[in-house]
Amino acid sequence: MANEKSLQEYKARIQRAVDHVEKNIADRISLAVLAEVSCFSSYHFHRIFHAFVGETPGEFVNRIRLEKAASRLITYPSEQITEIAFKCGFASSPAFARAFREYFGCSASEWRGGRLEGVNNGDSGKANDEQREISSTSSVCRPDDENSRSIAERMEEMLVKTEIKSMPSFHLAYLECLHGYNEKIGKFFDRLCRWAGPRGLLTDDARFIGIAPYDPKAAASDKCRHYACMTVPAYIVSEEEIGVADIPAARCVVARFEGVQGEIAYAYDELFGKFIPENGYQPADLPAYEIYYNDPQNASGKEFTLDLCVPVESWKPCQGSET
């Protein structure tokens, strides 16, 4: 049964983050501060925000800055464009100019001149009202292509089978990959297997696990950390490029995912935006991980079967919350 109180609390917490952005638009707005304001774990805030808002925090902040700048250009016609850029949180005039043209399809001065003259021929910008409109309680974002219905159906089937489980601890050997979710991950698993094989570690009991400490959408592709891991006996220690780490035992939301790599992000949105809040839980301050049931070395364009494991704790109100 859906826990309406916890769902409303999630929305209220996200609204706190939205309000913080609105009130501090001229300042540097970090992901850590937004997570703290909304009382969510910094591990999971990015995914929670995207699941509820439909934009990443960075996309949201950038959009709000641009829309506020566009409004000030008209409301304060004597204010210098550079001054407006700084007041709306842009670090430099060139950065503002590039972002404004990319979003609105024209320069800031063209926008101001055309709007003040009452010109609105429909060609002044890419971002019309419908494209820019977003609600802080919007539904979970799904792909818009022809396969969206089948993806949505499979996501619903996944949620029906999703469980809360007590997961054991794992002792892992790992390789760090700084390329996010793409075909390069498979090469790291391959290297891990070539290290493990001669040591007799590729047993039937070994599990392959992937860990992305933070949402891959939160970092540039060349700085997005992903760990290719496998379970190993307790006596294994780090050596050369192989590290070792432990996943602690924890209560987890466990969802069996079957699909291609590009759909994993939608599955996480369903968990963070639906299942976890609706069942009275919140993410614990531990990273999510994925247990693979087929070959993780083939990471591009292949069907995956894996468990998405998100450590959770019972929902508790954020301090100072009125809900």
Whether the predicted pLDDT of 153 surpasses 80: yes
Q: Is the dihedral of CA 180, 186, 187, 191 positive or negative?
A: positive
Joined together, the tokens standing for residue 100 give 């404004």
Provide DSSP, 271-316: IIIIIHHHTTEEE-SS--EEEESS-TT--SS-EEEEEEEEEEEE--
Q: Under CATH, what is the fold of the domain 148-314?
A: Multidrug-efflux Transporter 1 Regulator Bmrr; Chain A (3.20.80)
Closest CA to 51 of 220, 230, 277: 277
- DSSP state for residue 174 in the 8-state scheme: E
Joined together, the tokens standing for residue 209 give 């696990």
Q: Please indicate whether the domains covering 4-132 and 148-314 agree at the CATH topology level.
A: no
pLDDT score at 133 = 38
For the ranges 135-139, 229-233, 267-271, the lowest mean pLDDT is seen at: 135-139
Provide DSSP, 39-99: T--TTTHHHHHHHHHSS-HHHHHHHHHHHHHHHHHHH-TTS-HHHHHHHTT-S-HHHHHHH
For the ranges 11-15, 150-154, 169-173, the lowest mean pLDDT is seen at: 150-154
Q: For the chain, how far is it from start to end, CA to CA, in angstroms?
A: 19
Q: What residue spans define the domains of the chain?
A: 4-132, 148-314
For the ranges 4-18, 79-93, 108-122, 183-197, the lowest mean pLDDT is seen at: 108-122
Q: Under CATH, what is the fold of the domain 4-132?
A: Arc Repressor Mutant, subunit A (1.10.10)
Count CA within 13 A, CB hemisphere, residue 69.
Answer: 31
- Read off the pLDDT of each residue in 24-52 and give the average, rounded to a whole number: 93
- Read off the pLDDT of each residue in 7-30 and give the average, rounded to a whole number: 91
pLDDT in tens, 212-221: 876 766 655 5
- Read off the pLDDT of each residue in 238-243 and give the average, rounded to a whole number: 89
Whether the predicted pLDDT of 121 surpasses 50: no
